[in-house]
Amino acid sequence: MPNGDNWQGDVLRDLRGASGPPAAGTGGPPASVPPAPPSAAQAAGTEHIPAPTQPPGTAPTPTPQQIPAPPRPRRPSAPDSRAVVDSALSGVVRRPQRGEPVAVRVARAVRRIVSSSSAREVAELTRTAEALQQPVTTGRQIAVTSIRGGAGKTTVAALLGTAYAHYRQDPVLLVEADPALGSLPLRLGAETLRWTTADLADIVEPQMSLLDVTGYLVQLPENAWLLPGSQGQIGAMLDTSTYERVMVALRRYFGVTVVDCETLPAEVARVALSASQARVLAAPATLDGVTSTYAVLQWMQGLPRHMIEGTVVVLSSTVARPGIDVEAAAEKLRSTGVGVHVLPYDRHLAAGGVLRTELLARPTRLAATRLAAEVFQLSQKRR
Q: Do 159 and 140 contact (CB within 8 A), yes or no? A: no
Encode the chain (383 residues) as per-residue pLDDT tens digits.
444 445 455 545 555 554 444 444 444 444 444 444 444 444 444 444 444 455 555 555 555 555 555 555 555 566 666 666 666 666 666 677 777 666 766 666 666 666 666 677 778 888 999 999 999 988 999 999 998 888 899 999 999 999 999 999 999 999 998 766 678 999 999 888 888 888 888 898 888 999 999 999 999 988 899 999 876 666 556 788 888 888 988 988 999 999 998 888 788 888 888 889 999 999 999 999 999 999 999 988 998 888 899 999 999 998 888 889 999 999 999 999 999 999 999 999 998 889 999 999 999 999 999 999 999 999 998 76
SS3 268: helix
User: Mean pLDDT of all residues in the chain?
Assistant: 79
- Helix (H), strand (E) at residue 111: helix 102-114
Q: What are phi and psi of 239, to 5 degrees?
A: -95, 165
- Cβ–Cβ under 8 Å, residues 316 and 343: yes
**pLDDT score, position 113:** 63
User: pLDDT digit string (tens) for 315-345?
Assistant: 999 888 888 999 999 999 999 999 999 999 9
**What is the pLDDT, as a whole number, of residue 197?**
86
Distances (CA, A) of 321 to 97, 100, 101: 19, 14, 15
Q: What's this model's pTM, rounded to 2 decimal places?
A: 0.75
Identify which of 72, 17, 2 has the alpha carbon closest to the alpha carbon of residue 212: 17
Strand order across the 278-284 sheet: 218-220, 224-227, 172-177, 256-261, 140-146, 278-284, 311-316, 339-343
Q: From CA 257, how far away is CA 279, in angstroms rounded? A: 12
Distance from the Cα of residue 208 to its chain's centroid: 18
Residue 16: per-residue pLDDT:
52
Residue 355 near residue 187, CB atoms below 8 Å: yes
Strand pairing class (256-261; 140-146): parallel
What pLDDT is stored for residue 123 in this prediction?
84
Instruction: Say if residue 228 is preceded by a cis peptide, omega within 30 of 0.
Output: no
Distance of alpha carbon 13 from alpha carbon 192, whole angstroms: 27
DSSP string, 182-224: --HHHHTT--EE---HHHHTTT--TT--HHHHHTTSEEETTTE
**Is there a contact between 127 and 374 (Cβ–Cβ < 8 Å)?**
no
Q: Is the dihedral of CA 197, 224, 267, 318 positive or negative?
A: negative
Other beta carbons within 10 Å of 3: 8
Task: Find the length of the chain.
Answer: 383
Beta-carbon count within 10 A of 320 CB: 11
Neighbours of 144 (CB within 10 A): 34
The span from the CA of 245 to the CA of 200, in Å, is 9
**Residue 18 Cα distances to 9, 14, 22, angstroms:** 11, 5, 13
Angle at the Cα of 18 from the Cα atoms of 14 and 24, rounded to 5 degrees: 120
pLDDT for 268:
83
| SS3 sequence of 31-52 | CCCCCCCCCHHHHCCCCCCCCC
CA-wise closest residue to 255 among 130, 170, 174: 170
Number of helices (H) and strands (E), helices first, in the chain? 15, 10
**pLDDT for res 109:** 64
